[in-house]
Amino acid sequence: MNDAVSAPSPRQPDLILLPEAGAARPLVDAFQRRITYLRLSVTDRCDLRCSYCMPERMTFLPKKEVLSLEELYELATGFIARGVTKIRITGGEPLVRRDIIDLFTALGRRLGHDLQELTLTTNGTQLAEHAEALAKAGVKRVNVSLDTLDREKFAALTRRDSLPQVLEGIAAAKAAGLKVKLNAVALKGVNGEELPDLIAWGHGEGHDVTLIEVMPLGDVEEERLDQYLPLDEVRRSLEARWTLTESDHRTGGPSAYVDVAETGGKLGFITPHTNNFCAGCNRLRVTATGQLYPCLGGGERVDLRAALRSEAPEANLAAALDEALRIKPEKHHFRMDARGAAPAVPRHMSMTGG
């Protein structure tokens, strides 16, 4: 029997039919990796300008190129029908997209049915306003990006003086009952020294923390090699101070966790360079214009927007997903060893989403 759910916006109450459970083939790529996790970008726009993510004068896409909330929902439905059980909404900054809570609400109705987890990655600037609504929609966990607790450094790094709003957002998320994970990109000469304090603060507030190695995605004003702080180095310096024990904790993402005895919190490491994690990749990423990139670090792409807007969207979407599985590469080819090298891929992280 088919269920029907309303589309995200009450202003456009289209009905979308769910396919029968088990009717479609699961998503398994050429390397036998089962895809169960979709990272769906809802905008390339952002209210910050993090220097490792985008240039100060970033050019954003014309709005007409971006999928409507209804199309985003329809896409998500296509993935769920093929066995995706976890969706992370990302961007750009997802919370700057007007009416984005409508999409969370519509997808949230599927939690406990054919969707196990709905979550988001945010810079936190708008979280104070939306935390309650996200919790009400069924979101249980949020990733908030926070690279420094120093207001001046934050302003220099993000080119916006928004640390107070971010901290307020994190507090509001906690108050709304959302489990917060803090993500910090390790940046040479910027936050390397501060990372122990940032981790201790996060753990003290009850938040897990994950450290990320910077990736050469898109042109930014700075030399990538000058930003790169290898996490094996960071880990060695943390081990000189704390007792780190490997943890079998997993969140479905690429993070490998340790328990920190002294703080009582979990610390994750996302290490695309010092420890390749591609063998366990269970993810596909779709940009706000409906371009599916099977690998964050590759140029392979399938146009889902064309499929969605075609005469036979269901069949064309299914064929496009099969193509994505066929071309998903075995691993990324990021390199961080050549000064002045062109980015591994020309897209900024704000296009593909994290």
Write a three-state SS string for 316-348: HHHHHHHHHHHHCCCCCCCCCCCCCCCCCECCC
Work out what residue 214 binds among ligand SF4, ligand SAM, none; the CB cut-off runs from 5 to 8 Å by kind.
ligand SAM
Q: Is there binding between residue 183 and ligand SAM (CB under 6 A)?
A: yes
CA distance 94 to 70: 15
Write a three-state SS string for 81-133: HCCCCEEEEECCCHHHCCCHHHHHHHHHCCECCCECEEEEEECCCCHHHHHHH
How far apart are CB 126 and ligand SF4 at their closest, in Å? 11
Q: Is there binding between residue 125 and ligand SAM (CB under 6 A)?
A: no
Alpha helices in 181-337 (DSSP H): 195-204, 224-227, 231-239, 304-308, 313-327
- Neighbour-count burial of 211, counting CB atoms closer than 10 A to its CB (0-12 exposed, 13-18 middle, 19+ buried): buried
Q: Is there binding between residue 123 and ligand SF4 (CB under 6 A)?
A: yes
Alpha-carbon dihedral sign for residues 323, 326, 330, 334: negative
How far apart are CB 90 and ligand SF4 at their closest, in Å? 8
**Per CB under 6 A, which region of 78-86, 117-125, 133-141, 313-321 contacts ligand SAM?**
117-125
Q: Is there binding between residue 141 and ligand SF4 (CB under 6 A)?
A: no
Q: How many residues belong to the site for ligand SF4 (CB under 6 A)?
A: 13
Q: Is there binding between residue 320 and ligand SF4 (CB under 6 A)?
A: no
CA distance 292 to 284: 7
Single-letter amino acid, residue 272: P
How far apart are CB 95 and ligand SAM at their closest, in Å? 9
Residue of 215, 258, 281, 284 interacting with ligand SAM (CB under 6 A): 215
Cβ proximity to ligand SF4: between 78 and 218 the closer is: 218
**Per CB under 6 A, which region of 27-35, 151-159, 316-324, 346-354 contacts ligand SAM?**
346-354
Q: Is there binding between residue 122 and ligand SAM (CB under 6 A)?
A: yes
Alpha-carbon dihedral sign for residues 19, 25, 30, 32: positive
Work out what residue 217 binds among ligand SAM, ligand SF4, none; the CB cut-off runs from 5 to 8 Å by kind.
ligand SAM
Q: For the segment 39-58, give every residue that binds ligand SF4 (CB under 6 A).
A: 46, 48-50, 53-54
Work out what residue 49 binds among ligand SAM, ligand SF4, none; the CB cut-off runs from 5 to 8 Å by kind.
ligand SF4
How far apart are CB 1 and ligand SAM at their closest, in Å? 38
32 Rama sector, left if φ>0, alpha if ψ -120 to 50, beta otherwise: left
CA distance 50 to 55: 8
What is residue 57's three-state secondary structure?
coil
Work out what residue 212 binds among ligand SF4, ligand SAM, none; the CB cut-off runs from 5 to 8 Å by kind.
ligand SAM
Work out what residue 353 binds among ligand SF4, ligand SAM, none; the CB cut-off runs from 5 to 8 Å by kind.
ligand SAM
CA distance 143 to 146: 9
Q: Is there binding between residue 170 and ligand SAM (CB under 6 A)?
A: no
Contact 195, 211 (CB under 8 A): yes
What token pair was written down for 141? 């966990």
Residues of the shown chain interacting with ligand SF4 in the complex, contacts defined by CB under 6 A? 46, 48-50, 53-54, 91-93, 123, 145, 349-350
Residues of the shown chain interacting with ligand SAM in the complex, contacts defined by CB under 6 A? 46, 52-53, 90-91, 93, 121-123, 145, 183, 185, 212, 214-215, 217, 349-350, 353-354
